[in-house]
Chain A
Amino acid sequence: MRPFKYSTSSDARSATQLLEVNPNAQFLAGGTNILDLMKEDVERPDELVDITRLSLTGVQTITTGTNKGGVSIGSLRTNTETASHPLIRQQFPLLSQAILAGASQQIRNMATNGGNLNQRTRCPYFYEVSMPCNKRAPGSGCGAFQGINRMHAIFGWSEKCIAVHPSDMCVALAALDAVVKVRNVAGQERVISFTDYHRLPGNTPEKDNTLNHGELVTAIEIPPNPFAARSYYLKVRDRASYAFALVSVAAALQTEGTAIKQARIALGGVAHKPWRATEAEQFLAGKPATEDSFRQAAELAMKGAKPFEHNAYKVELGKRAIVHALMKTV
């Protein structure tokens, strides 16, 4: 690993200042992604600013503003302590389930919510420094495009990059219309809707999200919703546990009698960011909550898929996963 300076900070102001003065500094929280990437010489910060002593670990009911009645989750709370929190389990079980589908208990104990958002969108070509990768070395090409692309994107990719965002937590947050609160060195706050937080690769795959250097994620807010009774996170993977998703589905329904009032569907493992299936959601509104409706919605959700040589299976798998996840909610 390349040498780096280790700095600590006890508040958001000093933490953001340290990044402001050093363009090569990065925040360190759980470290489960960045340290791994530093060992592989993919990430090369010359300073790590340890932010784990910041007090951004709370889970609270929001009492004012547009998200009143929803929940605010501190960016430095661990994934485990978020998934286990009674408020999250009761009101947003989809989020608990998605977090628990990711990684291993050890990693969830270390990983923070902010870190989960900011983990790199990545693929094996990004990790292997002898291979071309526009995300790691802009302009070097994409090894996956005509390489082994079984795990890669079927939506929203560009010729520059076809990697997928590996988070499960973020798929649930996209489905639940969460927002991300960030603050800069001047103390100014910015609120980013979750589906705008991560970005598609376009011509700049080196940028995974819309966070600026020096901005700190302080909290994630989820507005109140009626989905707690009917939601499910389905993760399909190569082994039963502790593996990245081939396809995952965050599904949520609100029903009135046998009819669907509103639906939420987001997919993981298919794009550079969590992928909301809004057309399928709109189709389901007013339809009966039956397998037949779900099949039609699944067709709509996967309609624009553009798979590669090794991942065409994700189209059919995605359809079946959507139906399966929705069936689990009724």
Chain B
Amino acid sequence: MMQEETGQPDLSADEQKLLEELLSEDINGLSPLGEQRRNFLKQVAAAGAAILVSQLAGESLFAHTAGEEAFVPPPAADPATAVQVAFKVNTAGRSLTVDPRMTLLDSLREKLGLTGTKKGCDHGQCGACTVIVDGRRVLSCLTLAVTCEGKSVTTIEGLAKGGTLHPMQAAFIKHDGFQCGYCTPGQICSAVALMAEAKRGEPSYVTADLRANPGPVQLSDDEIRERMSGNLCRCGAYPNILSAIREVHRGKETAQSWQFISPDQTAE
């Protein structure tokens, strides 16, 4: 399908239109990762966009034949009760009209397209929806969007700077701190906020002496476990999550506990 002589994909008019939509500037407004995403897509385009686009076109076509829209925008808020709210998300100012019932979680995912923040239990029991508001980790599923007026929200999409991952993100990858990945954005946001809590000297239930002068806390493994207890991981990646957080907290490289299988081992 790809014309190797020119390196240019052979696209039909519909496919060309779809590609332009994919690469449009609009998607970059969503997050700092938008730029990376666009670059990625451009690279993909240069390498073989025809394959990608024809797949997407096919899916789109299939969706239409099934009588469904590819994207259904959420219903508009009832004008009688709708509320205007403005807050910062990952340093960008956002202004939204929301139903008072809409949670911060749903506004991030459904209104702003920031789907990195995950909806797990939606009842404050799992921590998957953890984001950082005004420097504190909170549960976005139990936060109403309307209460965020003037606040500053940081989500998983806002942690990387340009093309550089946040040290906590890099450590989670290095130490294999996840399996299915669904709890991971919440785990990482929680862990990033935890670093600041330790610096501020905030105690936990396992802190030995609450009366000791508050100062930066050196987190033991037990301290990290206790302070991360609001983030559940059903895959059970806890030991590796602990390793990742410990490394970032201590600021010292430590070897990961896993390794790729060697050729010798595969031969056995």
Which residue of the partner chain, among A36, A48, A80, contacts B123 with CB atoms under 8 Å? A36
Q: Determine if B214 and A84 form an interchain contact, defined as CB atoms under 8 angstroms apart.
A: yes
A327 CB to closest chain B CB, in angstroms?
A: 16
Q: Determine if B81 and A3 form an interchain contact, defined as CB atoms under 8 angstroms apart.
A: yes
Interface flag for A106 (CB, 8 Å):
yes
Given contacts A3-B101, A101-B205, A110-B139, contact A240 B229 (CB under 8 A): yes
Among B78, B103, B210, find the residue whose CB has the most chain A CB atoms closer than 10 A.
B210
A320 CB to closest chain B CB, in angstroms?
A: 19
Interface residues of A in 46-61 (CB under 8 A from B): 48, 50, 52
Q: Determine if A6 and B200 form an interchain contact, defined as CB atoms under 8 angstroms apart.
A: no
Q: Determine if B139 and A107 form an interchain contact, defined as CB atoms under 8 angstroms apart.
A: yes
- Which residues of chain A come closer than 8 Å to B203, judged between CB atoms? 83-84, 89, 96, 100
Q: Determine if A84 and B200 form an interchain contact, defined as CB atoms under 8 angstroms apart.
A: yes
Interface residues of A in 100-115 (CB under 8 A from B): 100-101, 103-107, 109-110
Q: Can you name the residue of chain A whose Cβ is closest to the Cβ of B131? A: A106
Q: Determine if A48 and B100 form an interchain contact, defined as CB atoms under 8 angstroms apart.
A: yes
A321 CB to closest chain B CB, in angstroms?
A: 15
The interface on chain B, measured as residues whose beta carbon lies within 8 A of the other chain's beta carbons, has a size of 41
Which residue of the partner chain, among A4, A28, A32, contacts B124 with CB atoms under 8 Å? A32
Interface flag for A31 (CB, 8 Å):
yes
Interface residues of B in 105-150 (CB under 8 A from A): 122-124, 127, 130, 136-139, 142-144, 146-147
Given contacts A36-B123, A106-B137, A107-B124, contact A97 B100 (CB under 8 A): no
- Which residues of chain B come closer than 8 Å to A93, judged between CB atoms? 210-211
Q: Determine if B205 and A100 form an interchain contact, defined as CB atoms under 8 angstroms apart.
A: yes
Q: Can you name the residue of chain B whose Cβ is closest to the Cβ of A84? A: B202
Interface flag for A90 (CB, 8 Å):
yes
- Which residues of chain B come closer than 8 Å to A104, judged between CB atoms? 127, 229-231
Which residue of the partner chain, among A3, A109, A228, A240, contacts B211 with CB atoms under 8 Å? A228
Q: Determine if B147 and A5 form an interchain contact, defined as CB atoms under 8 angstroms apart.
A: no
Q: Determine if A109 and B205 form an interchain contact, defined as CB atoms under 8 angstroms apart.
A: no
Cα–Cα distance between A242 and B142 once the two chains are bound (Å): 17
- Which residues of chain A come closer than 8 Å to B101, judged between CB atoms? 1, 3-4
Which residue of the partner chain, among A6, A110, A235, contacts B100 with CB atoms under 8 Å? A6
Q: Determine if B144 and A241 form an interchain contact, defined as CB atoms under 8 angstroms apart.
A: no
Q: Determine if B81 and A105 form an interchain contact, defined as CB atoms under 8 angstroms apart.
A: no
Q: Determine if A89 and B210 form an interchain contact, defined as CB atoms under 8 angstroms apart.
A: yes
Interface flag for A187 (CB, 8 Å):
no
Q: Determine if A4 and B122 form an interchain contact, defined as CB atoms under 8 angstroms apart.
A: no
Given contacts A84-B203, A89-B203, contact A106 B211 (CB under 8 A): no
- Which residues of chain B come closer than 8 Å to A86, judged between CB atoms? 214
- Which residues of chain B come closer than 8 Å to A240, judged between CB atoms? 225-226, 229
> Could you give, for residues 174-209 of chain B, a 1 whenever the CB lies within 8 Å of some chain A CB and a 0 otherwise?
000000000000000010011001001111110100
A113 CB to closest chain B CB, in angstroms?
A: 16
Interface flag for B227 (CB, 8 Å):
yes
Q: Determine if B100 and A5 form an interchain contact, defined as CB atoms under 8 angstroms apart.
A: yes
Q: Determine if A89 and B214 form an interchain contact, defined as CB atoms under 8 angstroms apart.
A: yes
Q: Determine if A96 and B210 form an interchain contact, defined as CB atoms under 8 angstroms apart.
A: yes
Q: Determine if A106 and B204 form an interchain contact, defined as CB atoms under 8 angstroms apart.
A: no
A324 CB to closest chain B CB, in angstroms?
A: 15
Interface flag for B83 (CB, 8 Å):
yes
Q: Determine if B211 and A241 form an interchain contact, defined as CB atoms under 8 angstroms apart.
A: no
Q: Determine if A109 and B138 form an interchain contact, defined as CB atoms under 8 angstroms apart.
A: yes
Q: Determine if A106 and B190 form an interchain contact, defined as CB atoms under 8 angstroms apart.
A: yes
Cα–Cα distance between A100 and B210 once the two chains are bound (Å): 11
Given contacts A1-B101, A48-B100, A106-B130, contact A80 B136 (CB under 8 A): yes
A residues whose Cβ falls under 8 Å from a Cβ of B: 1, 3-6, 28, 31-32, 35-36, 39-40, 48, 50, 52, 80, 83-84, 86, 89-90, 93, 96-97, 100-101, 103-107, 109-110, 228, 235, 240-242
Q: List 21 A-B contacts (CB under 8 A).
A: A3-B99, A3-B101, A5-B100, A32-B124, A32-B139, A36-B123, A39-B123, A84-B201, A89-B203, A90-B211, A93-B210, A100-B203, A100-B204, A100-B205, A103-B230, A105-B194, A105-B204, A105-B227, A107-B142, A109-B136, A235-B205
A84-B202, A105-B193 are known; give 19 further A-B pairs, CB within 8 A: A3-B81, A3-B100, A4-B101, A5-B100, A36-B142, A84-B214, A89-B203, A93-B210, A93-B211, A103-B230, A104-B127, A105-B194, A105-B230, A106-B190, A107-B142, A110-B139, A228-B211, A241-B205, A241-B226
